[in-house]
Structure formats: structure tokens, C-alpha cells
Amino acid sequence: MSDTGIRTYTEKSRTESTEQVDSTESVSTCPECGARLEADSEHGETVCTECGLVVEEDEIDRGPEWRAFDSAEKDQKSRVGAPTTNMMHDKGLSTNIGWQDKDAYGKQLSTRQRQKMQRLRTWNERFRTRDSKERNLKQALGEIERMASALGLPENVRETASVIYRRALSENLLPGRSIEGVATAALYTAARQAGVPRSLDEIERVSRVDRMELTRTYRYIIRELNLEVKPADPESYIPRFVSDLDLSDEVERRARDLIDAARGDGILSGKSPVGLAAAAVYAAALLCNEKVTQNDVSGVADISEVTIRNRYKELLEAGEVATA
């Protein structure tokens, strides 16, 4: 057969096979009686609703093998992996070996098996961090998790701090700076961006770096990464102080009103937002006749009682509140 004949035969075969596929995919009526076809998911077949002709069989069911009758049962039976997260150096995609030393039936492993599992865990940890960059990231994210837990920060703040640290690492901002310092600065930045700031004194208490290194690294990070961080608002500290002192919602509302009044008079400029928030909470508690001492507020806000005394009088005057 000549080359022309071979090409003609090949093209004809390809055309016929394409037409067969198109005709199979476009079938929506019974080839015998012309009635509508219906998919039977229970038996994996496509049958005619009138004559019962089986047009297709042994179809693949890509759904779950279980049934659920409400959304709660569906969520309970769903078997999927955990979502990826930036709070882990490998984003949670690797496998962990448990430390329980028990088999699938809950029975204790023998001594030989425990030694074998311990060896597997060791090599698993080594393989999870392939290079120095991943080891750096693993240590930093662990530090962020530790400090965030001690400060009671929510998960979204931890996630944001992890992203900031990843950016700093990818843009090569770590040489000459400690891992703990950059991790602390990332967490401090993330807390302020999320509207749940912590004071420098609180951050320094749980961090492994001093205040000077923290502030210097913080300014460097936000400048190099072009991060937008608004000045801390005293109102963002009020809910936490009120909660820690076990005061009422009325105290929180009055404290916010005092801060708003002071902002209108320009008193907030140049003053510590933590001190203003603590003074506002103390003044609001007095106005609401709820017992709280300056020492209590000082312990929660981690500022001196002198600052509270000076600030709360200014806030009362700005709010045009008569004091006895």
C-alpha cells in the first residue's frame, strides 16, 4: 500500500472513531424506542425509562460509599486530610508517626518493635527537613506557635505571622539577625494588623530576645516587606482588659466613649495606647460603680499606677464628667 493510501486509511479510521465517541457521549434517548434514558446509580447502569433497555453498565461511581441524611452526618463521615497551613514548615503535607507505641488495635508494642518505631521516627524527622532553610523555618514557626499560645492570640494571627516570616526568609532578610528576633517581630506585626495587639512588654516577656532587638527587627521587617501597620488604637486593648478584670459590658462601652471623647479633644496624641486603655477602663469602672483598684488594672495592663492616675483624670475631663 502506498503512503497516500496509508494516510487516507488512517484518517478515515480516526474520523470513524471520533464519530463513535461523539455519538456515545451525545446519547440521551433510547436507541430502541426513543424514550428518555435515566442513570441508575445503585446498579451503575443507564437504562431506558420505557422499555428497560440497558444502554450502559458498570459505570464508575465517584461518590462516597456511605450515605448521609443531614449535613452534620455528612461532615462526620467525610474522610479527608487536614487543610494545608502556613503554620507548619511543610504546610502539613508530610506524614507524622505517633508516639503512643501502640498498634492499630491499641495493644502495646514489644521492645523490639518500639526500638524499630523509634528509629523510624528519627529518620522521618530528618527527612521532613531536607535543608537548612527548612530547618530554619521549622524552628521559627515553632517559636511563633509557642509565643502566640502564651499570649492567647487566635489562629489567624499565627497564620499571618507565619506568612510574614516566610516572606522574610524568601527575600533573604535573615542574615545578621536571629531566628527568634524575626519570629517575634513577625508575631508582633501580625497581632497589630489583626486588631488584637499586644504591648512590647507583653511580647518581651514571652520572647527570647530583648526589647531593643525586637523594635529594631520590627522596623526593619515592615520597611523591607512594605507592610502597612496602623498605629495601635487604645480601643483595641479595652475588651481584653475588661475581660481579664471580669467587668461588665457597660464598663467596656463607657471606656470606649471616654476614648472617643479624648480623641476628639486631641488628648491621645503622643501617649501610650496601653496606658490610655487601662485608664479608660479604670475610669469607666468608677462611673459604673464597679469595684476595681488601680493595682488590679496595673497588673492586667502591665503599666504603673502613676500612669493610670494621670491618664484617667484627663479622660474624665475630656468626657466632661463631674467627679466627686
32 — pLDDT class (breaks 50, 70, 90): confident
Greatest alpha-carbon span in the chain = 114
Q: Using an 8 Å Cβ cutoff, are 136 and 96 in contact? A: no
The reply to whether the predicted model has a pTM over 0.85 is no
The mean pLDDT of 266-276, rounded to a whole number, is: 84
In order, the DSSP letters of 194-230 are: TT----HHHHHHHSSS-HHHHHHHHHHHHHHTT---P
Q: Using an 8 Å Cβ cutoff, are 139 and 118 in contact? A: no
Residue 125 vs residues 128, 130, 166: alpha-carbon distances, Å: 5, 10, 21
pLDDT tens digits, one per residue of 167-213: 999 999 999 899 999 999 999 999 999 988 898 888 999 999 999 99
For position 218, what pLDDT does the model report? 94
The region of weakest confidence among 42-46, 68-72, 81-85, 223-227 is 81-85
64 — pLDDT class (breaks 50, 70, 90): low
For position 65, what pLDDT does the model report? 65
Q: Which three cell numbers stand for residue 231?
A: 498605629
16 — pLDDT class (breaks 50, 70, 90): very low
For position 30, what pLDDT does the model report? 87
Catalogue the E-assigned strands of 4-147: 37-40, 45-48, 54-56
319 or 219: whose pLDDT is higher? 219
For position 221, what pLDDT does the model report? 94
In order, the DSSP letters of 262-318 are: HHHTT-STTS-HHHHHHHHHHHHHHHTT----HHHHHHHHT--HHHHHHHHHHHHHH
Q: What is the mean pLDDT of the chain?
A: 82
pLDDT tens digits, one per residue of 138-156: 899 999 999 999 999 999 9
Specify the DSSP element, H or E, that contains 31: none
For position 74, what pLDDT does the model report? 73
Output Rg (C-alpha) for the chain, integer angstroms.
33
Whether the predicted pLDDT of 121 surpasses 50: yes
Which residues face 37 on adjacent strands? Answer: 48
Exposure b/e, 123-148, CB count within 10 A at least 16 = b: eeeeebbeeeeeebbbebbebbbebb
The region of weakest confidence among 32-36, 65-69, 114-118, 290-294 is 65-69
